[in-house]
Amino acid sequence: MRFRRTPSHIWCQQVVEMVSDYLEGTLPARDQRRLDHHFTICPPCSIYLSQMRETLRLAGKLVPEDLSPEMEQEFTEVYRRWREES
C-alpha cells in the first residue's frame, strides 16, 4: 500500500506572493500542489484567485488608447519606481 504525503501547509500570505507564478504555470510541481490544496480549503484565497484571473482577463483587453493621460502617467511612475527598487 502506498501512502501519499499531504502537501505541507501554506499560509495565505504565501499564496499572495506566489499567485502570479501559479497563474503563469511557472511554479515547481510541489508548490503547485500546495497551492491547489490550499485553494480547496481556504475560501478567501479561492476568491482572491478568481479575482486575479478576472483582473488578468480584463487587463489583457486593454490597449494604450484605453488609458487616460493621467492613467498613463501613473503607470509610468509606478514602473519607474519598480525599476529603481529592482
Q: What is the pLDDT of residues 9-46, one digit of tens each?
A: 889 999 999 999 999 999 999 999 999 999 999 999 99
pTM of the model: 0.66
Query: In this predicted structure, what is the pLDDT of residue 61?
Result: 82
Q: 1-19 burial, b if ≥16 CB within 10 A, otherwise e?
A: eeeeeeeeebeeeebeebb
Contact 53, 23 (CB under 8 A): yes
Total number of domains constituting the chain:
1
Per the structure, the complete domain to which residue 25 belongs is given by: 12-85
- How confident is residue 50, by pLDDT bands cut at 50, 70 and 90? very high
Whether 2 is in a domain gets the answer no
Whether 1 is in a domain gets the answer no
Whether 18 is in a domain gets the answer yes
